[in-house]
Amino acid sequence: MSIFRNHKTSADRSATDRSRHKKKIRDAIKEGIHDIVSDESIIGQDGKKRIKIPVRGIKEYRFVYGNNEKNKSAGSAPGKNIRKGQKIGSGKKKEKDGDGKAGNKEGEEIYEVEITLEELSYYLFDNLNLPELEKKKFKDMVGDKIKRKGYRSKGIRPRLSKKETLKNKIRRKKATAYTGSLDRNKDERFPFHKNDLKYRHIDVKPKENSNAVIFFVMDTSGSMTKEKKFMARSFFFLLYHFLRHKYENVEIVFISHTISAKEVSENDFFKRASSGGTLLSSGIEKCLDISKKRYHPDAWNIYTFHCSDGDNWPEDNAKSIDLSHTLKSICQLYCYIQIVPETDRIAWTEGGMATVYSELEDAKFRIVNLESPDDIWPQFKKIFGGKQ
């Protein structure tokens, strides 16, 4: 007496709403992502590595009763022996796994979103830009960019695509067998034909040259504690991925210095124990030196980031400023990062090198003060034109 029918499959009805929901989650990732950039586990990973980040579900708020003494819940316990005052749960555990009181409050949902560092960079850096003046500069420099662009039936031998050629042959073989002119079961020879051959095609395009070299310079004197180094490292990590996001090729030069400077490997750069005094000028000199030898400013966009705790030998200040002027003139951006944890404030008084350098400060020369890991992202955004 009822009516039965097969459901007319309409379009996937919740598709629109799902994509809106996804967008909300992505926005949440964007907002919450800064908390994880200082997380040690992702620092130093290469771009392909996938990392999992927990994203809080988008809550739908409404008025609900709280989880407290006055709000009693009811339950059944068939066959169980229960008595007044019996403890049936810790209460804390429930909080921990995000499950509020049954039926009362929505449990907190955590979506685990897996993204690559590349995507992470996208979220982080999408709204940020290199300072305006750099763009002009590297527009002038033009190089050729070679890009693969499909396949052609004519070409030179070195560009023969074996895979596509073989695919064509298989296709032809199947077709021949289908028409009946080839016996599938017989192990007959089926040679390549001229028409099977496919060549990779390339397209040459003029392109803005986008090579960049980053000088990461770090003071490794005795006063650079582990904590300071970690902050330096987090900041460098962001810089590295940001510049890689914006440039095709990024080369990095690690320079560590105490009273003399040395080019070191990434590993040494971050891990080497610190000792000795500080001559900031030695690091700057090294940069100039290396750029002269390997990275001519006409061909390279040069970025220099110099990390220190601001403690320099006073005799060296004049020289440092002098050299910094020179370095600034060849750099797209020269940034001095002074790391002073709040707890260290009293160790020196005058504001350190940041004060000395202040005369240099302009669009190309920036001074960054980091006091705690929380400063890293806001300061980073300040340099690269974020809104805050």
Alpha-helical segments (H) within 297-347: 317-330
Taking the C-alpha atoms of residue 238 and residue 42, their distance in angstroms, rounded to an integer, is: 11
Least distance from C-beta 109 to other proteins, angstroms? Answer: 7
Looking at residue 160, the DSSP 8-state letter turns out to be: B
Of the two residues 76 and 179, which places its CB atom closer to other proteins in the complex? 76
If binding is defined by CB under 8 A, does position 271 make contact with other proteins? no
Site map 199..238 versus other proteins, x via CB under 8 A:
----------------------------------------
Q: What is the dihedral of CA 79, 84, 88, 93, to 10 degrees?
A: 150
The three-state secondary structure class of 20 is helix
Of the two residues 48 and 96, which places its CB atom closer to other proteins in the complex? 96
Least distance from C-beta 108 to other proteins, angstroms? Answer: 11
If binding is defined by CB under 8 A, does position 9 make contact with other proteins? yes
Contact region with other proteins (CB under 8 A), list: 9-17, 44-52, 129-137, 339-347:
9-17
If binding is defined by CB under 8 A, does position 179 make contact with other proteins? no
Q: Are 102 and 64 in contact (CB under 8 A)?
A: no
The three-state secondary structure class of 291 is helix
Residues in region 49-108 near other proteins by CB under 8 A: 57-80, 82-92, 94, 101-105
Residues in region 17-46 near other proteins by CB under 8 A: 17-24
* Structure tokens that stand for 299 in this block: 């061909």
**Angle value at C-alpha 120, between 117 and 122, nearest 5 degrees:** 115
**Angle value at C-alpha 316, between 239 and 265, nearest 5 degrees:** 35
- Containing 28, the helix (H) or strand (E) segment is helix 15-32
Of the two residues 74 and 346, which places its CB atom closer to other proteins in the complex? 74
Least distance from C-beta 70 to other proteins, angstroms? Answer: 5
Least distance from C-beta 76 to other proteins, angstroms? Answer: 5
Instruction: Find tokens 């190309």 and name the residue.
Output: 364
Length of the chain: 388
Least distance from C-beta 107 to other proteins, angstroms? Answer: 11
State the residues that interact with other proteins by CB under 8 A: 1-7, 9, 12-14, 16-24, 57-80, 82-92, 94, 101-105, 109
